[in-house]
Structure 1
Amino acid sequence: MYDHRKLGRELGIFDSDPLIGAGLPYWLPAGAAIRQALERYIADVERRAGYQQVYSPVLGKRELYEISGHWSKYSEDMYPPMDIGEEQLVLRPSLCPHHALMYRSRSHSYRELPLRMSEIGGMYRSELSGVLGGLTRVRAIQLNDGHIFCSLDQVAGEARAALDLINQAHHDMGISASRYLLSLPAEDARFGSPDSKYVGDADSWALAASLLRDVLDGAGIAYDEAPGEAAFYGPKIDIQIEDHAGRESTLSTIQIDFHQPERFDLEYIGADGNKHRPVMIHRSIIGSIERAVAHLIEVHGAAFPAWLAPVQLVVLPISSAEEKVASDVLRQAVALGIRAEIAYADEGTLNARIRENRHAPYQAVIGPREAAAHQLAIRERSGTKHPAAPIKEVLDRIAAEIR
Structure 2
Amino acid sequence: MNAEKTVEKNPGKNAGKNADHRRLGRELGLFDTDPLIGAGLPYWLPDGAVVRHVLEEYVREAERRAGYRHVYSPVLGKRELYEISGHWSHYSDDMFPPMEVGGEQFVMRPSLCPHHAVIFRSRPHSYRELPLRMAELGGMFRSELSGVLGGLTRVRGIQLNDAHIFCTLDQVAEEAAGALDLIRRAHADLGIAPVRHRLSLPGPGGKYVAAPEKWERSIALLRQVLDASGVAYEEAEGEAAFYGPKIDVQVADPAGRESTLSTVQVDFHQPEQFDLHYIGSDGAKHRPVMIHRSVIGSVERAVAHLVEHHAGAFPAWLAPVQLAVLPISDAEHEAATRLADRCAGLGLRAEVLGPERGSLGARVREARLVPYQAVIGAGEAAADRVSVRLRDGRRPDPLPAAELVDRMSDSVRSRATDLWVG
- TM norm. shorter chain > 0.5: yes
Instruction: Tell me if 1:155 matches 2:172.
Output: yes
Counterpart of 1:305 (choices 308, 315, 322) is: 315
1:228 is displaced (CA, Å) by 1.1
1:94 is aligned with what amino acid? Answer: S
Counterpart of 1:222 (choices 200, 207, 232) is: 232
Partners of 2:190 and 2:396 in 1: CA distance: 26
2:127 is aligned with what amino acid? Answer: Y
Question: Residue 144 of structure 1 aligns to a residue in which SS?
Answer: strand
Partners of 1:354 and 1:291 in 2: CA distance: 30
2:379 is aligned with what amino acid? Answer: R
**Equivalent residue for 1:177?**
194
Q: Which aligned pairs between 1:196-345 and structure 2 lie closer than 5 A?
A: 196-345=206-355
2:169 is aligned with what amino acid? Answer: L
Q: Which aligned pairs between 1:389-400 and structure 2 lie closer than 5 A?
A: 389-400=399-410
Partners of 1:253 and 1:352 in 2: CA distance: 44
1:396 is displaced (CA, Å) by 2.3
1:265 is aligned with what amino acid? Answer: D
Pair 74,67 (structure 1): closer, same or farther in 2 beyond 3 Å: same
Of structures 1 and 2, the one scoring higher in RCO (CA 8 A, sep 6+) is 2
**Equivalent residue for 2:61?**
44
Instruction: Tell me if 1:364 matches 2:374.
Output: yes
Partners of 2:55 and 2:349 in 1: CA distance: 14
Partners of 1:318 and 1:137 in 2: CA distance: 44
Q: What are the superposed Cα offsets for residues 343-400 of structure 1, whole Å, 9 maximum, x if unpaired?
A: 1023222222112212111111111111111222322213333333332332122122
Count of residue correspondences: 396
Partners of 2:202 and 2:404 in 1: CA distance: 56
Unmatched runs of 5 consecutive residues or more in structure 2: 1-15, 414-422
Partners of 2:167 and 2:107 in 1: CA distance: 29
Partners of 1:78 and 1:330 in 2: CA distance: 47
Range with bigger deviation, 392-401 or 1-10: 392-401
Partners of 2:215 and 2:224 in 1: CA distance: 14
CA contact (8 A) 1:104 1:266 kept: yes
CA contact (8 A) 1:303 1:359 kept: yes
CA contact (8 A) 1:200 1:259 kept: no
**Equivalent residue for 1:7?**
24
Partners of 2:392 and 2:255 in 1: CA distance: 27
CA contact (8 A) 1:317 1:365 kept: yes
**Equivalent residue for 1:18?**
35
**Equivalent residue for 2:129?**
112
Question: Residue 214 of structure 1 aligns to a residue in which SS?
Answer: helix
Partners of 2:131 and 2:265 in 1: CA distance: 15
1:41 is displaced (CA, Å) by 0.5
Q: What are the superposed Cα offsets for residues 115-143 of structure 1, whole Å, 9 maximum, x if unpaired?
A: 00111100000000010000000000000
Question: Residue 146 of structure 1 aligns to a residue in which SS?
Answer: strand
Partners of 2:240 and 2:73 in 1: CA distance: 26
1:128 is aligned with what amino acid? Answer: L
Partners of 1:374 and 1:66 in 2: CA distance: 66
Unmatched runs of 5 consecutive residues or more in structure 1: 190-195
2:299 is aligned with what amino acid? Answer: I
1:148 is aligned with what amino acid? Answer: I
CA contact (8 A) 1:162 1:254 kept: yes
Partners of 1:349 and 1:282 in 2: CA distance: 53
Question: Residue 111 of structure 2 aligns to a residue in which SS?
Answer: coil
1:200 is displaced (CA, Å) by 4.7
Instruction: Tell me if 1:347 matches 2:357.
Output: yes
Partners of 1:346 and 1:69 in 2: CA distance: 60
Partners of 1:352 and 1:83 in 2: CA distance: 57
Counterpart of 1:375 (choices 385, 391, 398) is: 385
Aligned-residue identity in percent: 66
1:92 is aligned with what amino acid? Answer: R
**Equivalent residue for 2:416?**
none
Question: Residue 398 of structure 1 aligns to a residue in which SS?
Answer: helix
- TM-score in terms of structure 2 length: 0.92
1:6 is aligned with what amino acid? Answer: R
